[in-house]
Copies of this chain bind each other. A is one copy, B any other.
Amino acid sequence: MTQTVGIIGAGLVGCLAALAFAEKGFEVSLFELRDDPRKVDPGNLRSINLAVSDRGIRALKYVDNDMAERVLKHVIPMYGRMIHDTTGTKQQSQKYGLFGEGINSIDRSFLNKCLLDEIDKSSIKVYYKHRLIEVAGLKGSSPTVVFSTDENKRATFDFDYLVGADGAHSQFRYQMQKSMRMNISQDYIDMQYLELSIPPSKDQESPFSIDAHHLHIWPRKNFMLIALPNENGSFTVTFFSPWSVMEQLKNESEFLQFFKSNFPDAYDLIGEDSLKHAFHHHPRGSLMQVEVYPYHDPSGRAILIGDAAHSMVPFYGQGMNCGFEDVRVLMELVDKHGADAFKLYSPSRRDDLRTICKLALDNYYEMSSKVVSKKYLLRKKIDGILGKLAHGTWWIPLYTMISFRGDINYSDAVAREKRQSRVLKGIEVGFYTGAILAAAKALHWWKNK
């Protein structure tokens, strides 16, 4: 008999999970709190850009190779970071990959719509405007989900399996944890973000005012600005800072002055009117980290994936990639172990999810400060030389492992990086010792000449 699965949340990860289960022959129902995003005014949706990298692509291809190609047609590859200095005149490119690899900018809501279009072509049943209000029967053989529908009615469904993919504030998680022992932590980071935009250029040659194939960063230690390209030539810009920095900018003119002095080129690119509008009307987003364990319920019939299981800060560009990888890892377990898959998922995935949450947090410091440090750049240079020599074998830089080598688990990547880091430190010590010895020799020679 066909097994049924109910998936809660039709965001990116929920959609991919639905397609994956349908592909394996499950009868899939997908539930979404909101209306079909394709019907809704785009202004209401989160416009933040995402960077799809190897893990995300691997998962999409795992589910359906042709689908992956259709969905990924519209990405813009970014081959490195472009560092903008404080004068607004100098830019420095720092390549991401050693062999021309890039990460890929795409609009979140656009990607979501692409996945929903794929779902429409499948046998998956989609229920919009269904607010989850109860999850029951997890201790029995057939879990039940209860929704409050748009017309204030109660709708009840039974499934063999349930997948919660309803995001950082997951209602499914809230319901599920009531009948089991789930450890949860939710921590807000002292950081806000404000979204801005660089319009397409009026230039005939290219619609992009700045290089289209870089992730642009204005690193200013305590705060930073980043920009990711869109297909139409515009850039989605995000200003990150501690709350105190933003709160000190009490009025429009202070805000404009702050931007002009810290990001002079970005100030001109975004435009004064647009900055004014953002100051008054754009919401300040907050950033948090959610970690839970285990991800499955004891009966092995319900599981959390994506942000519902691990909400990370956006600084490693891995949130969605990791959520897509959740789907691939889970489906591989379903293939191999059938009904035991959910139970096996938690222990097998725990270290990797903890690792990437921590890396994401640490990378804020790298993006906002380290990218302009000489020591960091020297180390990165040696790291890169070794990486090129090794050509993906005995030496692989961390960024490459995380973003371009989805075949290496997050936790293995970090374990490997630790070993490499010890070697790098040794090389640095050797480098400085050599320099001191050379200087001493030179001094000796000069004295005795």
Contacts and interface: CB of A to CB of B under 8 A. Distances in A.
Interface of A: 131, 133-134, 148, 152-154, 169, 171, 174, 177-178, 181-188, 286, 288
Contact of A133 (B133, B183, B186): B133
Contacts of A131: 133-134
A398 to B, nearest CB: 29
A181 B191 CA distance: 11
A216 to B, nearest CB: 28
Contacts of A133: 131, 133, 148
A184 B153 CA distance: 32
A185 B292 CA distance: 10
Contacts of A187: 183
Contacts of A177: 169, 186
A183 B190 CA distance: 11
How many copies make up the complex?
2
A188 B181 contact: yes
Contact of A171 (B148, B154, B174, B188): B174
Contacts of A185: 184-186
Contacts of A186: 177, 182-185
Contacts of A174: 169, 171, 174
Nearest to A184: B186
Q: Of A178, A181, A286, which is in contact with the most chain B CB atoms at under 10 Å from its CB?
A: A181
A307 to B, nearest CB: 13
Contacts of A154: 148, 152
A134 B132 CA distance: 11
A46 to B, nearest CB: 15
A103 B69 CA distance: 70
A174 B169 CA distance: 8
Contacts of A178: 169
A187 B286 CA distance: 24
25 contacts: A131-B133, A133-B133, A133-B148, A148-B154, A152-B153, A152-B154, A169-B174, A169-B177, A169-B178, A171-B174, A174-B174, A177-B186, A181-B188, A181-B286, A181-B288, A182-B186, A182-B188, A183-B186, A183-B187, A183-B188, A184-B184, A184-B185, A184-B186, A185-B185, A185-B186
A148 B187 CA distance: 30
Contacts of A171: 174
Nearest to A290: B184
Nearest to A171: B174
A133 B286 CA distance: 24
A182 B184 CA distance: 13
Task: Kindly list the 3 A-B residue pairs having the minimum CB-CB distance in the complex, ordered from nearest.
Answer: A181-B188, A184-B186, A152-B154
A294 to B, nearest CB: 10
A182 B288 CA distance: 9
Given A131-B134, A184-B185, 13 more contacts: A133-B133, A148-B148, A169-B174, A169-B177, A171-B174, A174-B174, A181-B188, A181-B286, A181-B288, A182-B188, A183-B186, A183-B188, A185-B186
